[in-house]
Amino acid sequence: MADSSDEMGTTTIIAPGAVARLGEALKTIEATALVLVTGAGSYTRSGARAAIEPQLDGYAVELVNGFSPNPSVEEVAAGLDAVRRASLHGPPVIIGVGGGSAMDVAKLLAAGAAQERPLGELLPAGATLAPTAATLILIPTTAGTGSEATHFATVYKGTQKYSVAHPSLRPRWALVDPDLCASLPPEITASTGVDALCQGIESLWAVGSTEASREHASAAIARAMQHLEAAVLAPTSEARLGMCEAANWAGRAIDVSKTTACHALSYGLTIRWDVPHGHAVATSLGEMIVFNSETSEADVVDPRGLEHVREVMAKVVRLLGGRDPEDAKRRFNDLMCRLDLVLNLSALGAGEADDRRWLASQVNVERLGNNPRRMGAPELDALLSRIAQ
């Protein structure tokens, strides 16, 4: 894919060697002071450090690292000192290099630095955030979350997950370099790649979708179905590039549509049972294909009506190569099996009635409202029981 500048003001480069364009990006922005947010081991292992550091000569650089995989409001608050120091030289450029967490921390620092009150105090109130003065450059080292294409970030306060969103949190530059994913262990390629696939699928059926977001979602699903298995089991540079594109398209799709029930259910599994994000999302996705395909006039939530929901569900089934919803579910679940991802809640240690009740209690109701078919407490309960069997 060539360089693309979208209407949101993000210049996206998806290509081998894209990370070498960082210096050019910094010149274009006329950067003075930088905040570099990186993952722990991934920064060196991915080759990002070797590619990035020579391009930072002559800039004052503040480093932020050492945060957990599910970043907390406390960790974000601790990182804000680095942003304040950088801000003494002018509006900072915050560079996030890593998986979804590093990119999210970069966004959260940009958001946190712009607020008069601590971010942690603003979350439960659903307060409107002030726009950030920082400029973001995001460089993913996994092909998965598509965070480099969205205007929101995930943060935890205790076990509760929040989304921090503002249009100013879209990056100015997204440098997506498949070579940075080459050193990933297969289980991370699998869980992050599955996140891209699931985000594409959920986005396609989301109530919040638009024609444009559905195009991006469809492209993401098609690419992921073509390249995910190879990227995990027999990686080639073509498969890695394909998954980077899939992840970025899925990111663009959910940037508009947001995600739905499978994501809503996943966060509890991740925070309490340490199931990696994409893996956790996949546990309910197969069942949700069947559930949403059985939407009726009595329980359709999407204001575009039953016909629309039937069309998008038929498209999901088709893109997964299925003959019907059950067949699509089977194909999805078989693919997860080949990628060595266990879907059953009981096998993951989260299948007891108490566990299921706790998981249901963690669900973000707003995301269930984005599911095309009504999902209340009884439906959620039934879904959790089915995937625990």
In the numeric block, which tokens belong to residue 138?
């995001």
Nearer to Zn ion, 75 or 195 (CB): 195
Query: Inter-axis angle of helices 211-233 and 325-338, to 10 degrees?
Result: 40
Residues 65-124 that bind Zn ion (CB under 5 A): none
- Contacts to Zn ion from residues 48-67, by CB under 5 A: none
Taking the complex as a whole, the smallest distance from the CB of residue 145 to Zn ion amounts, in Å, to: 6
x/- letters, 248..287, toward Zn ion (CB under 5 A): ----------------------------------------
Closest CB to Zn ion among residues 104, 195:
195
- Those residues whose C-beta lies under 8 Å from the C-beta of residue 372, and which sit 6 or more positions away, are 205, 206, 207, 260, 292, 295, 300, 301, 302, 309, 312, 313
Minimum distance from residue 345 beta carbon to Zn ion (Å): 18
Binding mask 140-179 for Zn ion (x = CB under 5 A): ----------------------------------------
169, 110 contact by CB (below 8 A): yes
For residue 261, which amino acid is it?
A
By CB under 5 A, how many residues form the interface with Zn ion? 1
Q: How far is CA 339 from CA 102, 141, 252, 273, in A?
A: 25, 20, 25, 20
Shortest distance, CB of residue 176 to Zn ion, whole angstroms? 17
* Assigned token pair, 365: 């109701």
**What is the enclosing helix (H) or strand (E) of 165?**
strand 160-165
- Judged by phi (left if over 0) then psi (alpha if -120 to 50, else beta), residue 262 lies in alpha
Minimum gap (Å) between residue 143 Cβ and Zn ion: 13
The answer to whether 336 and 238 have CB atoms below 8 angstroms apart is: no
Q: Strand (E) positions, 6-148? A: 11-14, 33-38, 60-64, 93-98, 135-140
**Helix, strand or coil, per DSSP, at residue 144:** coil
Between 166 and 277, whose beta carbon lies closer to Zn ion?
A: 277
User: What residue is closest to Zn ion based on CB?
Assistant: 195
Nearest approach in angstroms of CB 151 to Zn ion is 15
Q: Taking the complex as a whole, how short is the minimal distance between the CB of residue 179 and Zn ion, in angstroms?
A: 23
Report in angstroms how near the CB of residue 161 gets to Zn ion at its nearest: 11
In this structure, the number of other CB atoms found within 10 A of the CB of residue 272 comes to 15
Cα(178)–Cα(137) distance, integer angstroms: 17
Q: Which of residues 179-208 bind Zn ion (CB under 5 A)?
A: 195
Q: Is the CB of 135 or the CB of 292 nearer to Zn ion? A: 292
Q: Which is nearer to Zn ion, 195 or 302 (CB)?
A: 195
Token pair, residue 375, equals: 């999902």
Measure the CA dihedral 161/164/169/171, to 10°: 10
CB of 254 to Zn ion, least distance (A): 8
Q: How far is the CB of 54 from Zn ion (least distance, A)?
A: 33
Pick 62 or 195: Cβ nearer Zn ion: 195
Cα separation values, 109 from 22, 83, 183, 359, Å: 20, 7, 28, 29
Give the separation between CA 144 and CA 365, rounded to whole angstroms.
24
Binding positions for Zn ion, rule: CB under 5 A: 195
